[in-house]
Amino acid sequence: MARIIPPRTRKVRVLATLGPASSTPEMVAKLFAAGADAFRINMSHGDQESKRPLIAAIRAIERDYGRPTTILADLQGPKLRVGRFADGAVMLETGERFVLDRDPAPGTSSRVELPHREIFEGIEPHARLLLDDGKLVLRVEEAGGERIVTRVEVGGRLSNSKGLNVPDVVLPLAAMTEKDQSDLAFACEAGVDWVALSFVQRPEDLAEARRLIAGRAALLAKIEKPAAVQRLDEILEACDAVMVARGDLGVELPPQAVPPLQKRIVESARRQGKPVVVATQMLESMITSPSPTRAEVSDVATAVYDGADAIMLSAESAAGDWPVESVAMMNSIADAVERDPAHGDRVHFTVTKPDPTTADALAEAAKSIAITVSARAIICFTMSGSTARRVARERPSVPLMVLTPKLETARRLGLLWGVHAVHTRDVENFEEMVAKAKRMALRHAVAAAGDRIIVMAGVPFGVPGSTNVLHVVRLTGDELKGYED
């Protein structure tokens, strides 16, 4: 029987990316022990079969610790790149003309192939083209047909197959490439819990992924294009969670524009009750250093104060020299922030107005009642996870333990603020619900004898979306006798 470990006292989740530096079962277990709550598998690197051992290692933690594990598969998306050069690289001089065309011949200092017809169809004069993560800037002077004539505004060295960003135009790009479709099918077959869609521009981009997933995983939209920010509320309606992907967002926008957008995205997601992940370069210096910069620590702390559901490590845990230390540092920063007496007030700067439903009203009431009667925990029964999302949106001050008979629901809740999910048998009546809530609160050490807990559920039991019960009970300490869940 798997041992039961108490839930983490920290409420924000830590999402760690796996890669060459963290690809063994031993290292995955170390990352979990250091504070990782969920794991990201980047489908941009390596082949599909190389992901199976990672998935198996994550699920092994589930068996060893008796806690559902959470896996997010991150699709590459339509990555735009220029072609290759005759000499491998060229220097683009500021003020000079440079042409992008459909000719596959090796490039020169005056032209190069651009193997993306969609750009030729959607680009307009005066638009910017950013090359090599924004290091070089081109301004479009003529567009149409098979040629895009540009003027170099910021020059520099440009080498083979460097990335290209088009920040000023919504391109007619398919949201998913053939590789993405194949990777998505693999990820769902392998049983991942979340699928992240890259370079989302519009809510319609999510429809194809949703259709292919067919309910087998939850869908996360990565916000990394200015066009996506303009239609943020619609995108939030169409997905299950969002990620503030600050890498490409910081390429296509001025750096100073990213922090206010991060806050806007976090606030909008919280108001809609959708989990929000803040990602990219959070502890970037720890790729090569055992300690972060003070600015990085402040950056992580800001996301925690803003009430983000999860904070993510990328190369720090995937390919850096200090993967375990990076996770431990992220964990310790978040823990320190949440112990700040001002944290609760700051988290509630964002007003999350409940929808006019019974379930939302009870979720809001649970948060208030917990404070009024000094309850030690909220115990929530759910099938789909909807009730848990409603309660988590309120950012209660006490632990939120979620009991569900559906393992897939328990796993998906690993990205949700403050949730400790437990996979357990369902209950059939009110008395059984109360008794099980008491036992689980004691067994998982979220409350002790003499404490009050708040119990939420839906009657009739086993019907998704029927939350209509809120009950306050006191523990005696005798509830565990003779029971095994």
The number of beta carbons lying within 10 Å of the beta carbon of residue 26 is 8
Catalytic residue among 79, 81, 202, 452: 81
Catalytic residue among 222, 246, 270, 393: 222
222 is catalytic: yes
CA pair distance 410, 405, nearest whole angstrom: 8
CA pair distance 382, 34, nearest whole angstrom: 29
Q: CB of 73 within 8 A of CB of 39?
A: no
Q: Which of 398, 403, 413 is nearest to 366 (CA)?
A: 398
395 is catalytic: no
Ramachandran assignment for 407, one of left (phi > 0), alpha (psi -120 to 50 degrees), beta (any other)? alpha
280 is catalytic: yes
Secondary structure string (H, E, C) spanning the chain: CCCCCCCCCCCCEEEEEECHHHCCHHHHHHHHHHCCCEEEEECCCCCHHHHHHHHHHHHHHHHHHCCCCCEEEECCCCCCECCCECCCEEEECCCCEEEEECCCCCECCCEEECCCHHHHHHCCCCCEEEECCCCEEEEEEEEECCEEEEEEEECEEEECCCEEECCCCCCCCCCCCHHHHHHHHHHHHHCCCEEEECCCCCCCHHHHHHHHHCCCCEEEEEECCHHHHHCHHHHHHHCCEEEEEHHHHHHHCCHHHHHHHHHHHHHHHHHHCCCEEEECCCCHHHHCCCCCCHHHHHHHHHHHHCCCCEEEECHHHHCCCCHHHHHHHHHHHHHHHHCCCCHHHHHCCCCCCCCCCHHHHHHHHHHHHHHHCCCCEEEEECCCCHHHHHHHHCCCCCCEEEEECCHHHHHHHHHCCCEEEEECCCCCCHHHHHHHHHHHHHHCCCCCCCCEEEEEEECCCCCCCCEEEEEEEECCCCCCCCCCC
81 is catalytic: yes
Catalytic residue among 40, 162, 246, 274: 40
Catalytic residue among 280, 382, 409, 467: 280
CA pair distance 401, 441, nearest whole angstrom: 8
The DSSP bridge partners found for residue 223 are 244
CA pair distance 419, 13, nearest whole angstrom: 9
The DSSP bridge partners found for residue 454 are 378, 472
Catalytic residues, which ones? 40, 81, 222, 280
